[in-house]
């Protein structure tokens, strides 16, 4: 068969890329066409995404990639959104999920809808950045945007709309918002009404693989438009007994199940049920990931010391092991800023040795992440009743050999790292399935297992890591 080429637009919180995913009937591969930074803008105290610049970068990439392309689709991070007016025009730049407008909004919502009821309706982990609390902040402040908005679109579907003219929202992204009810199979209109958000603006929810229209003659197809959902599609597994870790700015560690787990135990553990492809659910835990390292690197750069990510790994290797721990998910680390200072503050207030050198700080982060992965995985297995014998690490963090080895050591299971650009691959795979070029996700994963060469890590020094885990648990502030 002739090669089939699709364009995967993949936006992360730190950078974006336009990739061509190619399938020759036997193997899948991808080529980066255009990569660009994704930077926010703070204006009068509000953090915005620069969506117009992103659109310009995306269309440049598509222009460079369009020859022979059979389709194009977009995936992005979760929870963020935009409003259109009655004429289909963007009302305002989308606000960044790390903006402080959601401060206090969980309690504000729970005064109107009990916390347990919110979980029963949505099955989603409680995080201040969720769409529910962003919308609540608009209702609480009587924002005129809610009166002016004619259409609500998730962030990737704003881009799909600009590409195709289709006003709809794709299932996997919608399910991250905490305003979707998996039992009803629709928006959680009940909660939205109870917090004062107009419900007429919420459009049809469509499954991944839906054709949306055309952009300059190229079909626009929704992939699994939440980046983690796309990444999970590209897990090169040939067994069901696996867990996955999508590792990047965020670490999303989970299991692929055929139903959501919404009960008292999952509520108490504050885990999440996000939609996957073909009716599956990603039963997972959101863990703050390489954000901690990214922010530390940015702080040191501002102070005059430039590190590559490889440099940071090297200085961590040389630092003393198991000296201090942090809970990566502590609220202290949520906002941009002086992350090294906050890490020292956490250690100071918990009575631990304070990391002084840059290497000690990075080692503290990596070890704490690996230990939090074990904490989260133990919870997910207990709640689901599932057993796993391996962890697939996908995404950019899979390049970090030190963190991958630490994770294998911590969880006491084999780690298989790669592919690194799993999100773009999964995006492309769903387009190829929609085009009829690949029969199913299972078939795609079998093809991937032949197409990529993952790196295997086996557990080492497990006794030392078990001892460290017992110490670490004392510093966990959030489930």
Tell me if 448 is assigned to some domain. no
Tell me if 231 is assigned to some domain. yes
Dihedral angle, C-alpha 145, 151, 156, 158, nearest 10 °: -90
Catalytic residues: 227
- Looking at the fold, whether 184 and 294 belong to one and the same domain comes out as no
- Looking at the fold, whether 338 and 460 belong to one and the same domain comes out as yes
Tell me if 220 is assigned to some domain. no
Tell me if 282 is assigned to some domain. yes
- Looking at the fold, whether 103 and 171 belong to one and the same domain comes out as yes
Q: Where among 209, 238, 257 does a domain terminate?
A: 209
Supply the CATH number for residue 294's domain. Answer: 3.30.420.40
- β-bridge mates for residue 181, sequence order: 186
Strands (E) located in 123-229 = 151-154, 169-170, 180-181, 186-187, 205-206, 211-215, 218-221
- Looking at the fold, whether 140 and 282 belong to one and the same domain comes out as no
Tell me if 413 is assigned to some domain. yes
- Looking at the fold, whether 204 and 260 belong to one and the same domain comes out as no
464, 367 contact by CB (below 8 A): no
- Looking at the fold, whether 376 and 235 belong to one and the same domain comes out as yes
Dihedral angle, C-alpha 472, 474, 476, 478, nearest 10 °: 160
- Looking at the fold, whether 99 and 243 belong to one and the same domain comes out as no
- Looking at the fold, whether 105 and 248 belong to one and the same domain comes out as no
Tell me if 10 is assigned to some domain. no
- Structural domains in the chain (count): 2
Tell me if 59 is assigned to some domain. no
- Looking at the fold, whether 275 and 309 belong to one and the same domain comes out as yes
Tell me if 471 is assigned to some domain. yes
Q: Where among 163, 180, 209 does a domain terminate?
A: 209
Strands (E) located in 172-298 = 180-181, 186-187, 205-206, 211-215, 218-221, 242-247, 250-257, 272-275, 281-288
How long is the chain?
Answer: 479
In which domain, by residue range, is 479 found?
226-418+454-479
Q: Where among 143, 174, 209 does a domain terminate?
A: 209
pLDDT, mean of each 10-residue run, the chain (479 residues): 90 95 96 97 97 98 98 98 98 97 98 98 96 98 98 98 98 98 97 98 98 98 97 92 94 96 96 95 95 97 97 97 98 94 98 98 98 98 97 95 98 96 96 97 94 94 98 93
Q: What is the pLDDT at residue 1?
A: 55
Sign of CA dihedral 413, 419, 423, 425: negative
- Looking at the fold, whether 284 and 198 belong to one and the same domain comes out as no
Phi/psi of residue 181, nearest 5 degrees? -105, 105
- Looking at the fold, whether 205 and 230 belong to one and the same domain comes out as no
- Looking at the fold, whether 275 and 400 belong to one and the same domain comes out as yes
């Amino acid at each position: 068969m002739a090669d089939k080429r699709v364009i995967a637009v993949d936006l992360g919180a730190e950078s974006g890329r336009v990739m061509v995913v190619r399938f020759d009937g036997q193997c899948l591969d991808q080529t980066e066409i255009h990569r660009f930074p994704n930077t926010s803008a703070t204006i009068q105290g509000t953090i915005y995404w620069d969506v117009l610049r992103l659109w310009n970068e995306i269309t440049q990439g598509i222009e460079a990639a369009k020859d022979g392309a059979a389709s194009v689709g977009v995936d992005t991070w979760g929870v963020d959104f935009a409003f259109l007016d009655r004429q289909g025009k963007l009302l305002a730049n989308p606000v960044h999920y790390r903006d402080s407008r959601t401060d206090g909004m969980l309690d504000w919502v729970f005064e109107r809808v009990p916390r347990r009821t919110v979980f029963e309706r949505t099955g989603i982990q409680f995080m201040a950045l969720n769409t529910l609390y962003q919308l609540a902040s608009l209702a609480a402040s009587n924002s005129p945007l809610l009166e002016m908005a004619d259409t609500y679109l998730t962030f990737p579907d704003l881009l799909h709309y600009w590409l195709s003219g289709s006003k709809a929202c794709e299932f996997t992204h919608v399910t991250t918002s905490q305003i979707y009810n998996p039992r009803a199979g629709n928006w959680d209109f009940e909660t939205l009404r109870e917090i004062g958000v107009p419900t007429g603006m919420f459009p049809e929810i469509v499954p991944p693989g839906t054709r949306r229209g055309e952009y300059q003659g190229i079909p626009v197809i929704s992939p699994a438009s939440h980046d983690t959902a796309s990444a999970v599609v590209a897990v090169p597994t040939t067994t069901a007994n696996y867990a996955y870790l999508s590792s990047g700015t965020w670490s999303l560690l989970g299991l692929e199940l055929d139903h959501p787990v919404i009960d008292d135990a999952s509520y108490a553990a504050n885990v999440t049920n996000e939609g996957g492809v073909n009716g599956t659910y990603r039963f997972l835990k959101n863990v703050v990931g390489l954000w901690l390292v990214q922010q530390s690197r940015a702080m040191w750069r501002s102070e005059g010391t430039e590190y590559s990510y490889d440099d940071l790994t090297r200085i961590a290797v040389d630092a003393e092991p198991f000296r201090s721990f942090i809970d990566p998910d502590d609220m202290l680390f949520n906002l941009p800023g002086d992350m090294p200072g906050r890490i020292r503050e956490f250690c100071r207030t918990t009575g631990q040795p304070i990391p002084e050198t840059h290497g000690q700080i990075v080692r503290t982060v990596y070890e704490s992440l690996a230990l939090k992965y074990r904490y989260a995985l133990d919870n997910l297995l207990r709640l689901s009743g599932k057993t796993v014998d391996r962890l697939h690490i996908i995404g950019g963090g899979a390049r970090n050999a030190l963190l991958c080895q630490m994770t294998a050591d911590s969880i006491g299971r084999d780690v298989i790292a790669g592919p690194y650009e799993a999100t773009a691959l999964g995006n492309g795979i769903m387009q190829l399935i929609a085009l009829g070029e690949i029969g199913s996700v299972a078939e795609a994963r079998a093809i991937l297992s032949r197409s990529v060469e993952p790196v295997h890590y086996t557990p080492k020094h497990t006794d030392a890591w078990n001892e460290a885990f017992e110490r670490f648990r004392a510093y966990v502030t959030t489930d």
